[in-house]
Amino acid sequence: MARRESRQRRQWVRLDNASNIFLAARSEVDTKVFRLSAELDDDVEPAQLQEALDRTFAQYPLFSAVLRQGIFWYYLQESDLQPTVKADDAPSVQHLYHRDRHDLLFRVLYRGRRVSFEVFHALTDGTGALWFFQDLLTEYIGLSHPHEFEKAAWDLGGIKQEFAVDAFTHWFHAGEGSFEDEATAALEARSTQLPEVEDEPEDRKVRRRRRRDVLSVTGTYTPDHRSRVVELTMPVKPVLALARAEGVSLTIYLLALFFESLRATRMASGKARTIVCSVPVNLRQFFPTDSGRNFFATTMLAHTYRNDPEHDSISGVCRDLDRQFKRTLTKEGLERKIRRLVRFERNPALRVIPRPLKDLIL
């Protein structure tokens, strides 16, 4: 009886409509699973990695959650499942959520000197995943080299991520129930609206053409729909120096290089085309929180190539993207946008729509 009552008292937390996009939009070729990896100096010892995982897992109750389906919404519920490290011998970022069974929403893998951490995006964002992964590596290194690290320096201990901590409720629903409205993921993933830029005549013409002139990146799927992995390695300091020479952040500089690679390989010569990219924004830098739940927004950045050498150079693309990014990335602007979207998500008419229909709509 005590066991049954304990199960009934397990915490649960509902996913809101925006977070449900990760569930509605997942497919055989897009699993909505992402991966973090780290290369160590020595080959990974599976037994020590398992012990490190056990210690880290105990500090993050959120990661004990399984995803369940209700009539009107999906929700996360605490479970008694325990994670097990596995050899990294299968295709990367395979499905973690399966409708017909309740599994943990992450996996820890090892191969040679590499440790990898894969997680379903409905559970956490990149920052929350990085916190868990960093603590996992800290625990592992401390266990692997006990004589080189003082115990006080690596024995993390304590609860790091409470199950129901919700940054969106804290910042945008003060005084309301913590289980009512949960963290919003991919706040603008449904929007195709392009960013506003300075009101120059040519820019206004470009914006009118963008919707019908946006480059669509296509490719050939593998026969079994597995992901293709391309690894790039670069030294941090020289790349940062290149970004600083352009007067932009590393994110903007790498995005400009990504745009250039698409222009060089996918665009027909002599035809003006627009490239658009959705860039995640970590809201914790504007609204501090220790929550490991999804707490980010996205902003759409675009550049239209005009066959103008200066405008279409790496420097020109950097300036264009940086101007858009700084214009949209303000605390006040983000707060207005998030409050508007959250009000929409709390619309009583939308909340009573059955979950399968919501999946189709999303």
Model confidence at 104: pLDDT above 80: yes
Between 93 and 160, the more confident residue is 93
Tens of pLDDT, residue by residue over 178-193, are 323 333 333 333 333 3
Task: Give the pLDDT mean for 100-104.
Answer: 91
Task: Assess whether 36 and 156 both reside in one domain.
Answer: yes
Q: Answer positive or negative: Cα dihedral of 211, 215, 220, 226.
A: negative
CA distance 121 to 139: 24
Position 189 scores a pLDDT of 33
Q: For the domain that residue 131 is a member of, what is the CATH number? A: 3.30.559.10
pLDDT at 218 over 90: no
Whether residues 101 and 240 share a domain: the answer is no
Residues 154 and 227 in one domain: no
- pLDDT band of residue 200 (cuts 50, 70, 90) is very low
Domain shared by 246 and 326, yes or no: yes
CA distance linking residue 211 with residue 297, whole number of Å: 22
CA distances from 15 to 164, 175, 354 (A): 11, 19, 14
Helical segments of the chain, H only? 2-8, 21-24, 46-59, 126-144, 151-154, 167-172, 201-213, 236-245, 250-266, 314-328, 331-345, 348-351, 355-361
- Cα–Cα distance, 134 to 121 (Å, whole number): 18
| 207 and 63 within one domain | no
Residue 315 maps to a domain: yes
Is 299 within the bounds of a domain? yes
In sequence order, what are the residues at sequence separation of 6 or more whose Cβ sits closer than 8 angstroms to the Cβ of residue 34?
A: 93, 118, 119, 121, 126, 129
DSSP assignment letter at 112:
T
Query: How many helices (H) and strands (E) in the chain?
Result: 13, 9
Residue 150 located in a structural domain = yes
Q: What is the pTM of this model?
A: 0.81
274-282/114-120 β-pairing: unpaired
- Do 159 and 223 share a structural domain? no
Percent of the chain with pLDDT over 70: 72
Query: Quick one: which of 185, 26, 53, 42 has its CA closest to 117?
Result: 53
Range of the structural domain that residue 266 is part of:
201-330
Do residues 57 and 83 lie in contact, with contact meaning Cβ atoms separated by under 8 Å?
A: yes
Query: Are 85 and 160 within one domain?
Result: yes
The pLDDT of residue 202 is above 80: no
Sheet holding 12-14, edge to edge: 12-14, 74-78, 65-69
Q: In the predicted model, what is the mean pLDDT of the chain? A: 80
Q: Which residue has the higher pLDDT, 342 or 115?
A: 115
Q: Looking at the domain assignment, is residue 52 inside a domain?
A: yes
Q: 294 and 217, same structural domain?
A: yes
pLDDT of res. 334: 87
Co-location of 160 and 244 in the same domain: no
167 domain-assigned: yes
Q: Which of 15-29, 169-183, 263-277, 321-335 has the lowest mean pLDDT?
A: 169-183
Distance CA 6, CA 148 (A): 42
Let me know if residue 341 belongs to a domain. Answer: no
Q: What is the pLDDT of residue 290?
A: 85
Residue 70: inside a domain, yes or no?
yes
| Coil/strand/helix, residue 311 | coil
pLDDT above 80 (res 210) = no
Task: For residue 165, name the pLDDT band (cuts at 50, 70, 90).
Answer: low
**By percentage, how much of the chain surpasses pLDDT 90?**
46
Q: Rounded distance, CA 136 to CA 58, Å?
A: 11
* Average pLDDT rounded to a whole number, residues 310-334: 94
Looking at the structure, tell me whether residues 40 and 94 fall in a common domain: yes
Over residues 68-94, the mean pLDDT reads 90
- pLDDT digit string, tens, across residues 123-144: 999 999 999 999 999 999 999 9
Interatomic CA distance for residues 168 and 201, integer angstroms: 39
For residues 82 and 9, give the distance between their C-alpha atoms in angstroms, rounded to a whole number. 19
- Residue 36, beta-bridge partner list: 117
The count of domains in the chain is 2
pLDDT of res. 340: 76
Question: If pLDDT is split at 50, 70 and 90, which confidence band does 161 have?
Answer: low
Same domain, 208 and 294: yes
pLDDT score of 121: 94
The residues near 236 (Cβ < 8 Å, ≥ 6 apart) are none
Give a yes or no: residue 323 inside a domain: yes
Q: Convert the pLDDT of each residue in 262-310 to its tens digit.
A: 999 988 765 668 999 999 999 999 988 888 888 888 899 999 998 899 9
Highest mean pLDDT among 64-73, 148-157, 203-212: 64-73
pLDDT attached to residue 187 = 32
Residue 161 and residue 26 in one domain? yes
